[in-house]
Structure 1
Amino acid sequence: MSRRIIQIDLNRVEGDLDFQLELEDNKVVDARCIGSLYRGFEQILVGRTPKDSLVITPRICGICGTAQLNAAVLALEQVGGIPVPPAAIRIRNLCLMAETVQSDLRQSFMFFTADFCHPKYAERSFYQKARTAFLPFKGSVHRGALEHSRHIVEIIALFGGQWPHSSYMLPGGVTSPASSRHVIDSLSILNKLTRWFEQSVIGTDLDSWLALQSADEFFTWLGAKDAHADSAIGLFTLMSRDIGLHRLGFGTPHMLSYGAYDDPEDAGTFPPLRKHLFKAGFLNGDTGNIEPFEQAEITEHVRYSWFQPYSGGRHPFQGLTIPDYQPHSDRYTWCKAPRYQNKVVQTGPLADALIDGEPLIRSLYQAEGGNAWLRQFARLHRTARLLHKMREILHELAAQPNDPHMISPDEKEIPDGEGFGLVTAARGSLGHWLQITDGVISRYQVITPTAWNASPKDSEGRYGHWESSLIGLTVDDPDDPVEIGHIIRSHDPCLVCTVHLLDTGKRITVWP
């Protein structure tokens, strides 16, 4: 029996991500997901005035700063009991959707599909089409995604003054109203991206795509026209299934979603009771049932993390983030191990769609499970849903031009207390937990989507989701395990947001 240990520096992800894998006859029998970047924002915020979080937390990440800002302002609004007008909720949702669309297009066509151009697949029938569409900086879809994703975030700049690192959300609303100029310019940007998305990505109009309700309907659609099969999503699907991505990367069956985009029609209700446009919930993989989400069920473990130890798991309001780097111990990452109901969960667009009851994704999941292909497919399908929803929001804003964008709170400082802000970022469930004592932040805890997915083992020795999705995988070439990249990149890793070697084995870099 051949046994070896390899360590992989995974590129084309956000941040610094290593994997240490133990192989027996090229089969992964043990996996460690190593977040080698320390963030420290929790320490930076302690001792500052509460509203400083609105300036500092958007800098956690250069790609999801709008989501970080949204979570931060929701936490402050909960502490202060501050209402928000419907127009402000619409503007917040619009900007968060724009950021998600940008992220999803770039991740799909700059990070994920580039692997189809790997020389390993040179003899595959799809190889030349893959290079024509997805080759970095030369492929038609790659270049189109780069161009159009660059412009969609201009919508955030119109309403928020800049992107990235905007701070236009304030307790009680947003800094500027939806002027007719902002709405018209945003519609122009959205129209251009939608036309490209219809022509290049889905090969049909948005309404026809969103009318697909089942796996059978989708695969019938895929074979109905060359334009469908040759679209980016068609090529991606045919290539993925040719190399077996629909049989890889399942991981934990438990899925979590905080719900996406506050419902402006429910503006009078305070989070977490406020309704969402896309539902919150927990998909229990043991029963197949979708259960109500309860944030009190969240805990974080640090048994295998480089933080000061504590026993078991702690809720973020009791959590500690005190670095304790011990590289020669059995601890191996800066990422904590979040758990929900003491279970390992995954989050992201697949989880969001299943919990929301989206019919096409649910049908595909029932047919084949939560595999690497479906996880990435759900991300592209979400883009179609968001482009449709963004148009609705802009028309709603145009129809109510005089609606207030801010309900100014009492000028006194945010009171002492605790609150949390939960949003759906591009990569999944993002939460901020805040405590204020004597007018300053006394505790701030952030759990990012990648913290859920990239978690290490917990206090009970249970592997994190990414780790379990790799164990049992057989790689063709341990010196160039492209299969690892397919599985992990299907989650859109972001170690920049996630706070989170051994000397044995061989360090390699996954192509390219």
Structure 2
Amino acid sequence: MTATEARPSARKPPQIVDMSWDPITRIIGNLGIYTKIDFANREVIDCRSTSSLFRGYSVFMKGKDPRDAGFITSRICGICGDNHTTCSNYAQQMAYGIKPPPLAEHITNLGEAAEYMFDHTIFQDNLVFVDFCEAMVKATNPGVLARAERTEAARGHIHGYRTIADIMRAFNPFEGEMYKQALKVSRVTREMFCLMEGRHVHPSTLYPGGVGTMPQPTTFTDYLSRLLRVLDFIKQAVAMNDDVFDFFYEALPGYEEVGRRRILLGCWGAFQNSDSCDYRYETMNEWGKDMFVTPGIVVDGELVTNNLVDINLGLRVLLGSSYYEDWVNEEPFVTHDPLGNPVDMRHPWNQTTVPVPQKRDFEGNYSWVMSPRWYDARTGDHLALDTGGGPLARLWTTALSGRVETPYIKATGRSVRITLPKSEKLPEMTFEWHIPRWSNTIERDRARPYFVAYAAAMAFQFIERALQLIRGGDTKVFQDFEVPDEAIGCGFHEAVRGVLSHHLVIKDKKIANYHPYPPTPWNASPRDHYGTPGPYEDAVQGQPIFEENGPDDFKGVDIMRTVRSFDPCLPCGVHMYMGNGRTLTTTHTPTYGAGHGG
């Protein structure tokens, strides 16, 4: 189907059908997408994103010992709980005024690198790519599959598949070779994670002040041996994804409009640089820019800031179309940051969560997700930033900042070069991710395997630096501390699917206020009180429909590709608000699979 067929220049009388997918499959079942589709003109004309799960951690964290925050918040999620523990420890270290030893930072970075490799692989290859596999394309776009059978794969010399259809077959669920290989790689990368952080997905060795991991040389060589085992797969995955995504642009002219939205990307940075990071708020601008994934906000292709202080002060939590009471008339927890800058009442430090369960109303309130926004002081706009699924924003801000330069990674200002050493079957290879023209479905998905390569490349550096310390006799991995009577802290990190911040207020040595903000509230937010749609909504509505099926057997594959390109996850909370003092008792709580992402 061509772009002209999908969106004819002479518009036809509309044929509007209400269609919903609730819950969205292949993720935890709390996300619903409600649309109005004009089948005559082949486009989505309206979209609402809903969540049926109340995220209540900010309620029951109050009064807890702040040292427990990392262990509690890791339970927010069933697959990226370590990202929450890490981010919580960052916030606590700021509040306690401590800096972990360098070896502890390398161990934490190695654990997070393994998590990125694990999670991105299992999501991209076993969940996202099902929408692009032979079985799905045959059911939704048989004409595209026929063309794929005739199209040579440009990078076959890397991945070994002759045609695009051969690649699609390799990702067929439970049968395709790459689908099965991804499951094996996920097991190996999880083992790498456990070597550093003790247990997946709720770390047993990460603490504020450092780690409890025993820094034996074999700990790092065991990690390295596994990393080398997955390098061939990582190199092949980058090449296979590039081949398939390039093919979609060629086979379906106009497909760049699927999931396309204004370039509004946020990244909070990842991989602390132990040479400069002291966790002091007063120096956060300097050490934030030295992260090995550079934080930043990109608006219409321009890097607005990579200053974490600016990013922090611009955070706003709007209620919009969500099920909560407002708190702006309450007493603020924090009036000024440690640099003396005023802190807005809608900043996470000052948020109070008051849930108000109610019937869903698409003309009023319809989601448990609030509407995080970033206030752009240049224009006075509250921007509905998205994370690009995580990797797109991370690579984009790192590329534009041009600050990261290691033996394995170089940010050029226009691209990111990633060098992976020789592996079992393939030679040393350098992949270059270029800033794309669009922030759309294909580019969110394309960035993911590139960031797996990025995480693998950084892991080599962290291993080398850790072994240098050990050989020099520096094996310290923990720094003692005292919990202050009063303090504030903020942690900035990247969960697998994007921006993650934890904001902490301590009074009388207890938590007075605590708010974790994972990527999904940013991506899945409903319309705010300015009428601005959240990123899922914005990316889906207005997009063309290329699926060849009509309303009667419509699968919504283009819509599903768009939503899944953000790597959605709606759990980030494992309890329900029952109201009127009622409680819900269960006899079993699963320790894994409580949710995908955070």
Q: TM-score range by the shorter chain?
A: 0.7 to 0.9
Alignment of 1:196-275 (within 5 A): 196-198=233-235, 200-202=236-238, 231-239=240-248, 241-243=250-252, 245-268=255-278, 270=280, 272-273=284-285, 274=287, 275=290
CA distance in 1, matches of 2:354, 2:279: 36
Partner amino acid for 2:25?
N
Q: What is aligned with 1:225?
A: none
How many residue pairs align between the two structures?
470
The CA deviation at 1:414 is 4.4
Partner amino acid for 1:428?
G
| Higher deviation after alignment, 308-317 or 395-404 | 308-317
- SS in structure 2 opposite 1:283? strand
Partner amino acid for 2:398?
D
Question: Does residue 126 of the first structure (1) align with residue 148 of the second (2)?
Answer: yes
Partner amino acid for 2:130?
A
Question: Does residue 160 of the first structure (1) align with residue 235 of the second (2)?
Answer: no
The CA deviation at 1:240 is 5.9
Partner amino acid for 1:370?
S
Q: What is aligned with 2:567?
A: 492
- SS in structure 2 opposite 1:374? helix
Note closer, same or farther for the CA distance 1:149–1:325 as it changes in structure 2 (3 Å cut): same
Partner amino acid for 1:249?
G
Note closer, same or farther for the CA distance 1:54–1:382 as it changes in structure 2 (3 Å cut): same
> Cα deviation per residue 1:416-437 (whole Å; 9 max; x = unaligned)?
2211111011111101111122
Note closer, same or farther for the CA distance 1:93–1:415 as it changes in structure 2 (3 Å cut): farther
Partner amino acid for 1:44?
F
CA distance in 2, matches of 1:384, 1:367: 18
- SS in structure 1 opposite 2:292? strand
Note closer, same or farther for the CA distance 1:309–1:381 as it changes in structure 2 (3 Å cut): same
CA distance in 2, matches of 1:324, 1:269: 37
CA distance in 2, matches of 1:372, 1:323: 33
Q: What is aligned with 1:190?
A: 227
The CA deviation at 1:492 is 0.7
Q: What is aligned with 1:413?
A: 483
Q: What is aligned with 1:387?
A: 456
The CA deviation at 1:30 is 1.8
> 1:177 touches 1:405 (CA, 8 Å); kept in 2?
no
Question: Does residue 375 of the first structure (1) align with residue 444 of the second (2)?
Answer: yes
Question: Does residue 307 of the first structure (1) align with residue 324 of the second (2)?
Answer: yes
Q: Which runs of 5+ in 2 are unaligned?
A: 1-13, 150-164, 329-343, 376-381, 400-410, 418-431, 576-598
CA distance in 2, matches of 1:75, 1:232: 36
- SS in structure 2 opposite 1:7? strand
Aligned residue among 372, 377, 384 for 1:344: 384
Q: CA RMSD in A?
A: 2.4
Partner amino acid for 2:318?
H
Alignment of 1:27-66 (within 5 A): 27-66=43-82
The CA deviation at 1:284 is 2.1
> 2:44 touches 2:541 (CA, 8 Å); kept in 1?
yes
Runs of 4+ in 1 over 4 A off after TM superposition: 310-313, 361-367
Q: What is aligned with 1:298?
A: 315
> 1:257 touches 1:351 (CA, 8 Å); kept in 2?
yes
Note closer, same or farther for the CA distance 1:284–1:474 as it changes in structure 2 (3 Å cut): closer
Partner amino acid for 2:274?
P
CA distance in 2, matches of 1:306, 1:269: 35
The CA deviation at 1:251 is 1.9
Aligned residue among 4, 12, 15 for 1:2: 15
> 1:300 touches 1:316 (CA, 8 Å); kept in 2?
yes
Note closer, same or farther for the CA distance 1:405–1:324 as it changes in structure 2 (3 Å cut): farther
- SS in structure 1 opposite 2:500? strand
Aligned residue among 260, 280, 283 for 2:295: 280
Q: What is aligned with 1:102?
A: 118
The CA deviation at 1:374 is 1.1
Partner amino acid for 1:464?
G
The CA deviation at 1:241 is 4.8
> 2:98 touches 2:279 (CA, 8 Å); kept in 1?
no
The CA deviation at 1:361 is 6.5
More helix by share: 1
> 1:245 touches 1:372 (CA, 8 Å); kept in 2?
no
Q: What is aligned with 1:221?
A: none
Question: Does residue 333 of the first structure (1) align with residue 367 of the second (2)?
Answer: yes
Aligned residue among 1, 7, 11 for 2:25: 11
The CA deviation at 1:305 is 0.5
> Cα deviation per residue 1:467-500 (whole Å; 9 max; x = unaligned)?
1111112334443211101111111111122799
> 1:246 touches 1:368 (CA, 8 Å); kept in 2?
no
Q: What is aligned with 1:115?
A: 131
> 1:83 touches 1:407 (CA, 8 Å); kept in 2?
no
The CA deviation at 1:14 is 4.0
Note closer, same or farther for the CA distance 1:313–1:458 as it changes in structure 2 (3 Å cut): farther
Partner amino acid for 2:82?
T
Structure-1-length-normalised TM-score: 0.86
Partner amino acid for 2:386?
Q
> 1:300 touches 1:313 (CA, 8 Å); kept in 2?
no
Note closer, same or farther for the CA distance 1:241–1:487 as it changes in structure 2 (3 Å cut): farther
- SS in structure 1 opposite 2:275? helix
- SS in structure 1 opposite 2:372? strand
Aligned residue among 544, 565, 570 for 1:474: 544
CA distance in 1, matches of 2:302, 2:241: 32
Q: What is aligned with 1:68?
A: 84
Note closer, same or farther for the CA distance 1:69–1:39 as it changes in structure 2 (3 Å cut): same
The CA deviation at 1:267 is 3.6
CA distance in 1, matches of 2:46, 2:345: 23
Partner amino acid for 1:13?
I
Aligned residue among 356, 368, 379 for 2:398: 356
Note closer, same or farther for the CA distance 1:366–1:389 as it changes in structure 2 (3 Å cut): closer
CA distance in 1, matches of 2:64, 2:279: 29
Q: What is aligned with 2:500?
A: 430
| Higher deviation after alignment, 312-321 or 461-470 | 312-321
Q: What is aligned with 2:172?
A: 135
CA distance in 2, matches of 1:60, 1:278: 24
| Higher deviation after alignment, 41-50 or 75-84 | 41-50
> Cα deviation per residue 1:38-84 (whole Å; 9 max; x = unaligned)?
23222221221111212111111121111100111111111110111
CA distance in 2, matches of 1:303, 1:351: 24
CA distance in 1, matches of 2:372, 2:556: 28
Identity %: 26
CA distance in 2, matches of 1:120, 1:339: 36
Partner amino acid for 2:355?
P
| Higher deviation after alignment, 362-371 or 128-137 | 362-371
> Cα deviation per residue 1:192-211 (whole Å; 9 max; x = unaligned)?
1113323x3245xxxxxxxx
> Cα deviation per residue 1:359-388 (whole Å; 9 max; x = unaligned)?
447997765311211111111111111111
Q: What is aligned with 2:339?
A: none
